[in-house]
Chain A
Amino acid sequence: MVVILGSPTPESAEIYAKTVTEGDPSWVGPLAGIALKLPVYHVLEPEVKNQFDQSLYDDQVGIMESVLDTDDLIKTVSKVRSEQ
């Protein structure tokens, strides 16, 4: 099982990435203190992007690559993943 995030900011992506790995860092949701240790990726990461039919990806996600802080998002989520 792999978790794919679409969160628009590095801050929110970090919260969701940690929620499905080490447990909800904000301690407000049902996964507080529960470490699922699931592999987590952002949909803008190349490992995910390359799995898609490219024209479909461009149609559905492509524009967000130029809108969001893609590099920061990739850095943030891959860091959480590597800390597992």
Chain B
Amino acid sequence: MVQHGSKPSREIQKDPETLKLIQSSLRSLNEAISYAPHQVMLGNIYPDTLSELESPWYENPTDSNSHKGPHGEIVGEEIFYGLIKGVDDFGLVSIEESFAKRSYSEIKKMGYLTGDLLQKIEGVPVSEIENRLQEDNVLPLRLGTGETIGFISTDYAEDPSLSPDILLENLTVKATATMALNSVLESNGVDPETIDYVIGSGEEAIGDRYNRGGGNLAKAVAEAAGCMQSTGADIKAFCCAPVHATVVGGSLITSGVFPNIAVIGGCSLAKLGMKFQGHLKKGIPIMEDVLVGFAILLGPDDQVSPVLRLDSVGRHTVAAGSVQQKIVEALVQTPLSKVGLKFQDIGKYATEMHNPEITDTAGSGNVPQTNYRLIAALAALNGEIEKGAESRDAFVKTHGMPGFSPTQGHVASAIPFLGHALDDLKRGNYQYSMFLAKGSLFLGRMTHMSDGESFILEKNH
């Protein structure tokens, strides 16, 4: 799929030879599974452990070759293409018949995807794929090896909002979010029929020429996941949307509107290979090679699960402006003082969790480290810790963690730590965890502002 990322597809168009370079720098599924940051995503390794592992992580695979963990599952291309076919309600995707059979049986083995999705995984003869690929407006679907196993087309060639590349982007979002939601429902023993409302928090624009970005992928995913008694809506706020969606979800429960809510976020196909040129230049694998989806279940107090403190919600107001210090004050300091907590009362802060091995090697810096240092600097300004690099670094080590999330936009914003935070809070490792996310609104050219929101999770007493 990396070739369909925004940056790779633009570069391949300029120079078709780039495709070969990309293909020769991709990781295998096993390499992606044993990659330490991915094991953290799955919940098999705690984030802090990363700083004890030898780096670079891409050269030092972990012993764990488990594709599953308490927080998720990683699957390869065979299953993924089958999933895209399984969530395609409009016959846009075609995959080769023997590939489709293998894919079907692998997805069936996973055990948690619904019958309707499975029934749609049917293939077509190779000759049909070869013929259709001669036409305009048909995009090939290839494996990492370069082998073509299918294609995606459009049912309305005149509409740029329904072009094959955009439909592929949106179907990958639907597929990853559906897989995540079904997986979370199954692992928590929750009947999909009990979900009342699904909130989508991804960034992708779903709609046609008259309503580009019209949205409500949430309801499409609710249907694919078998949540037949629910409706839903999307919340759009760039990378900040998952935190907005969680706060809205908690508020709907507390106000009694809907008792059981799922917050979902699909993947971001556009961001695959976003920094591939930096990685190629350094002779390292293209590490933006995975798509991530997530799902969060919210419900009334069960006396066990950590509590979403709605009185702790922090927001980056319009008036706060764009100075980093003011943003972190608004997202961290103000909510802490509102609920009478100190910086060090928060066991762990979850911020933008981008894996520094991906960003640092391409000149974008260590995003979580900068965020944690900012929080530490504010703690020092407030006299809670000593000033100076030593106490700053000690604060960061205790209350922060190394980044481990794939650079999948909204996915990377705080949410990847949620599974670990729930474990920590249930075990009583600490009392509070704070989640803060920021969104780059200026990318849409409608404002120069950014955005942010935060909330605190508390151990259930």
Cβ B323 vs Cβ A60 within 8 A: yes
Chain A residues packing against B (C-beta within 8 Å): 8-9, 11-12, 15, 26, 28, 59-64, 66-68
Tell me how far the C-beta of B281 lies from the nearest C-beta in chain A, rounded to whole angstroms. 9
Cβ A9 vs Cβ B325 within 8 A: no
Tell me how far the C-beta of A54 lies from the nearest C-beta in chain B, rounded to whole angstroms. 15
The interface stretch among B57-65, B370-378, B416-424 is B370-378
Known contacts A63-B324, A66-B392; 20 further A-B pairs (Cβ under 8 A): A8-B370, A9-B360, A11-B363, A12-B364, A15-B363, A26-B277, A59-B325, A60-B325, A61-B323, A63-B325, A63-B377, A63-B381, A64-B374, A66-B387, A67-B324, A67-B370, A67-B373, A67-B374, A67-B377, A68-B370
Kindly state the separation between the CA atoms of A11 and B373 in the bound complex, as whole angstroms. Answer: 19
Among candidates A12, A61, A62, A63, residue contacting B363 with C-beta atoms closer than 8 Å: A12
Tell me how far the C-beta of A32 lies from the nearest C-beta in chain B, rounded to whole angstroms. 13
| Number of residue pairs A-B, CB distance < 8 angstroms | 44
Residues of A within 8 Å of B366, CB to CB, are 9
Q: Name the prevailing secondary structure of the A interface residues.
A: helix
Chain B interface residue count: which class? 10 to 19
Kindly state the separation between the CA atoms of A72 and B25 in the bound complex, as whole angstroms. Answer: 31
Q: Which of B324, B378, B380, B381 has the most CB of A within 10 A?
A: B324
Cβ A66 vs Cβ B363 within 8 A: no
**What are 12 A-B pairs at a CB distance below 8 A?**
A9-B360, A9-B365, A11-B363, A12-B364, A60-B325, A61-B323, A62-B325, A63-B325, A63-B378, A63-B381, A64-B325, A66-B389
Tell me how far the C-beta of B172 lies from the nearest C-beta in chain A, rounded to whole angstroms. 25
**B385-404 interface bits toward A, Cβ cutoff 8 Å, 1 = contact, 0 = none:** 00101001000000000000
Residues of A within 8 Å of B387, CB to CB, are 66
Residues of A within 8 Å of B380, CB to CB, are 66
Residues of B within 8 Å of A61, CB to CB, are 323
Residue of A nearest to B372 (CB): A67
**B305-330 interface bits toward A, Cβ cutoff 8 Å, 1 = contact, 0 = none:** 00000000000000000011100000
Cβ B364 vs Cβ A9 within 8 A: yes
Residue of B nearest to A9 (CB): B365
Within 8 A of A (CB), among B3-58: none
Known: A12-B365, A15-B363. A66 touches B325 (CB 8 A): no
Residues of A within 8 Å of B363, CB to CB, are 9, 11-12, 15
Tell me how far the C-beta of A58 lies from the nearest C-beta in chain B, rounded to whole angstroms. 10
Kindly state the separation between the CA atoms of A28 and B274 in the bound complex, as whole angstroms. Answer: 13
Residue of A nearest to B324 (CB): A64
Known: A60-B323, A60-B325. A66 touches B365 (CB 8 A): no
Kindly state the separation between the CA atoms of A11 and B356 in the bound complex, as whole angstroms. Answer: 13
Kindly state the separation between the CA atoms of A77 and B392 in the bound complex, as whole angstroms. Answer: 25
**B285-303 interface bits toward A, Cβ cutoff 8 Å, 1 = contact, 0 = none:** 0000000000000000000
Residues of B within 8 Å of A15, CB to CB, are 363
Tell me how far the C-beta of B280 lies from the nearest C-beta in chain A, rounded to whole angstroms. 12
Residues of A within 8 Å of B277, CB to CB, are 26, 28
Residue of A nearest to B363 (CB): A11
Kindly state the separation between the CA atoms of A41 and B404 in the bound complex, as whole angstroms. Answer: 33
**Closest A-B pairs by Cβ, 7 of them:** A9-B365, A11-B363, A67-B373, A63-B325, A63-B377, A66-B377, A60-B323
Cβ A11 vs Cβ B392 within 8 A: no
Residues of B within 8 Å of A64, CB to CB, are 324-325, 374
Q: Which of B277, B325, B364, B392 has the most CB of A within 10 A?
A: B325
Residues of B within 8 Å of A68, CB to CB, are 370, 373
Tell me how far the C-beta of B278 lies from the nearest C-beta in chain A, rounded to whole angstroms. 9
Residues of A within 8 Å of B360, CB to CB, are 9, 11
Kindly state the separation between the CA atoms of A9 and B373 in the bound complex, as whole angstroms. Answer: 14
Residues of A within 8 Å of B392, CB to CB, are 66
Kindly state the separation between the CA atoms of A21 and B378 in the bound complex, as whole angstroms. Answer: 36
Residue of A nearest to B365 (CB): A9
Q: Which of A11, A63, A64, A68 has the most CB of B within 10 A?
A: A63
Tell me how far the C-beta of B377 lies from the nearest C-beta in chain A, rounded to whole angstroms. 5
Cβ A11 vs Cβ B365 within 8 A: yes
**B328-371 interface bits toward A, Cβ cutoff 8 Å, 1 = contact, 0 = none:** 00000000000000000000000000000000100111100010
Residue of B nearest to A14 (CB): B363
Q: Which of B363, B366, B378, B387 has the most CB of A within 10 A?
A: B363
Tell me how far the C-beta of A5 lies from the nearest C-beta in chain B, rounded to whole angstroms. 13
Kindly state the separation between the CA atoms of A8 and B324 in the bound complex, as whole angstroms. Answer: 11
Residues of B within 8 Å of A12, CB to CB, are 363-365
Residues of A within 8 Å of B365, CB to CB, are 8-9, 11-12
Kindly state the separation between the CA atoms of A28 and B378 in the bound complex, as whole angstroms. Answer: 37
Tell me how far the C-beta of B403 lies from the nearest C-beta in chain A, rounded to whole angstroms. 14
Known: A8-B365, A12-B364, A12-B365. A66 touches B370 (CB 8 A): no
Tell me how far the C-beta of A78 lies from the nearest C-beta in chain B, rounded to whole angstroms. 19
Q: Which of A28, A64, A67 has the most CB of B within 10 A?
A: A67
Residue of A nearest to B329 (CB): A63
